Amino acid sequence: MRAAFAGIDLGTTGIRVILADEKGTILSVHSENILDSTVPSDDEKISEQDPHFWRSVLMTFLHRALKTEGDYELRAVTVDSTSGTIIPVDRKGQPLYNALLHNDVRAQEESRNITEKTGISVKPSFALSKILWIRNNLPDLFEKTHTFIHAADYIKGLISGDFRTTDFSNAVKTGYDLEHFRWPPAISGVLGIPQEKLPVVVKTGEVFGELSRELREEIGIHHAVPVVAGATDSTTSFYSSGAERIGDWNTTVGTVLGIRGIASEFLVDPEGLLYAHRHPEGYWLPGAASNTGGEAVRLFFGDRLEEYDRGIAGMAPTGSLIYPLARRSEKFPFLNMDAVGFMNCKISSPLALFKGFLEGVAFVERMIYEKIECIGYPMGERVYTMGGGAYSDPWLHIRADILKKNVCRAREVEAAFGAAIIAASGVHFKSITEAIDHMVNIETVVEPDKESSTVYDDIYGRFLEECRSRNLFT
């Protein structure tokens, strides 16, 4: 029978399951909303969900999502989730408190203390900061906690019974040392967080368990199904983009502009703005994110995006100098917490302004990749792309012309599909690179237009000068 692989994606708003075969053909897709698990709070720094609700939703529809029909047989399952989410559980994996989500930033003082006392660079949203917050503010809960696990670990525990194992991608924001593959001694020695309260870490793509017998009987599966260690949602999405070799980079054009690439080594960014995950084949996955992106475009143009998108096809470069930011602050390609967006342009029509915004995001993308190359990372002639903005064909052409690179979009680009690729890499293919080769299908490749690229070179130079004149960076 043909092999099928399942990817389970736990997001902020829902759980999504994709079943795919070894050629990347999607066999089924199931999604369920989990917004009702959100715990109301008047404090904007606090963001929690009730993981018991996740359990009830998951078990309600999982037997439909994982059930294969006809000539397909389920061979492996992988789970991904948002990074930085943490849950204190007891010895049996039962949650003792709500899940502190990826966007929970209450642990601001803890993050500063961790960085100052240990040298481990963390933000308030990181899982390690939240664990220290629990230790400092809820000491009884801290003592009762058997293990602090990530959101993906909880879902994996529900389907396999193993709540103790995590992957080295989710472990990044809990302070895991990806160079030496260990929990830094300072976590226990300086912060007072015993290593026994942290999960056991394995590599992405490693088989660590199997679907429980009870779940298999409920679904109607009569053979063992391995559970393969996954990654964070952004990492699994990266694998689904088609990026697979050193020098491959991907841009996610979503609410913000995120980038990630594959490198043979992690190079020190003097400004400390880059972070890195590890590739299961030993490579590094450096990445960062800008605050510009789809949020700023949507703020100005609302629900008319598709209409304007059709209207700018074939329009010449506008000459506009626009830095699209929906809110104060920028974090890459430079760090400036007081940065505000700007518009320096002659507005001839709403369509021209719309294209100017898309050009502005592409200028920031070019700034990012120029900084990446200045740090020393190699970059090929292709940029892979995903996110909502990647489905705008006019925007793909703008980006190709400004970047002077081929911009490539795969047929299926999302976290759950990337998790299915990881599942296949663990049991069916020799490596994740081989799995990507067989399962990812590039459907669109946009090449730069030399004439437009020349025009954009001049506009981009003026864009940089405008940024400097506003003291966004030196």
Structure tokens at 103: 């966007």
CA proximity to 323, closest of 454, 449, 473: 473
Q: What is the dihedral of CA 364, 365, 371, 372, to 10 degrees?
A: 160
Position 461 scores a pLDDT of 98
* Mean per-residue pLDDT, 44-53: 95
| Confidence bin at 474 (pLDDT 50/70/90) | confident
**Are β-strands 382-386 and 406-410 bridged in parallel, bridged antiparallel, or unpaired?**
parallel
If you average pLDDT over each of 89-98, 268-277, 290-299, which comes out highest? 89-98
Cα separation, 136 vs 453, in Å, equals 55
Cα separation, 420 vs 422, in Å, equals 5
Position 134 scores a pLDDT of 98
Q: Provide the 3-class DSSP secondary structure of residue 405.
A: coil
Taking the model in full, what pTM does it have? 0.90
Q: Is the pLDDT of residue 362 over 90?
A: yes
- pLDDT tens digits for range 61-78: 898 898 887 789 999 999
CB atoms inside a 10 Å sphere around CB 32: 15
Higher pLDDT, 71 or 106: 106
Q: Which amino acid is at 145?
A: T
Cα separation, 111 vs 173, in Å, equals 11
CA of residue 288 relative to chain centroid, distance = 10
Q: Which helix (H) or strand (E) holds 202?
A: strand 200-202
CA proximity to 225, closest of 81, 366, 68: 68
Q: Using the structure block, give the residue that is written with the tokens 């009830």.
A: 56
- pLDDT tens digits for range 391-440: 999 999 999 999 999 999 999 988 999 999 999 999 999 999 999 999 99
| Confidence bin at 271 (pLDDT 50/70/90) | confident
Contact (Cβ atoms closer than 8 angstroms) between residue 148 and residue 197: yes
CATH second-level architecture of 242-412+441-469? 2-Layer Sandwich (3.30)
CA proximity to 438, closest of 74, 24, 28: 24
CB atoms inside a 10 Å sphere around CB 195: 12
Q: Using the structure block, give the residue that is written with the tokens 């470069």.
A: 317
Strands of 48-49's sheet in order across: 38-39, 48-49, 99-100, 86-89, 147-150
Tell me the pLDDT of the chain averaged across its residues.
Answer: 95
* Mean per-residue pLDDT, 160-183: 97
- pLDDT tens digits for range 261-270: 999 999 988 8
Q: Is the pLDDT of residue 348 over 90?
A: no
Name the residue ranges covered by the structural domains of the chain. 2-234, 242-412+441-469
Domain 2-234 listed as CATH 3.30.420.40: yes
Position 270 scores a pLDDT of 86
Q: Which amino acid is at 83?
A: S
| Two domains, one topology: 2-234 and 242-412+441-469 | yes
Q: Which helix (H) or strand (E) holds 344?
A: strand 342-344
Contact (Cβ atoms closer than 8 angstroms) between residue 301 and residue 308: yes
Contact (Cβ atoms closer than 8 angstroms) between residue 228 and residue 210: no
Q: Using the structure block, give the residue that is written with the tokens 């689904």.
A: 240
Position 463 scores a pLDDT of 98
- pLDDT tens digits for range 4-29: 999 999 998 999 999 999 999 999 99
| Confidence bin at 152 (pLDDT 50/70/90) | very high
* Mean per-residue pLDDT, 353-376: 97
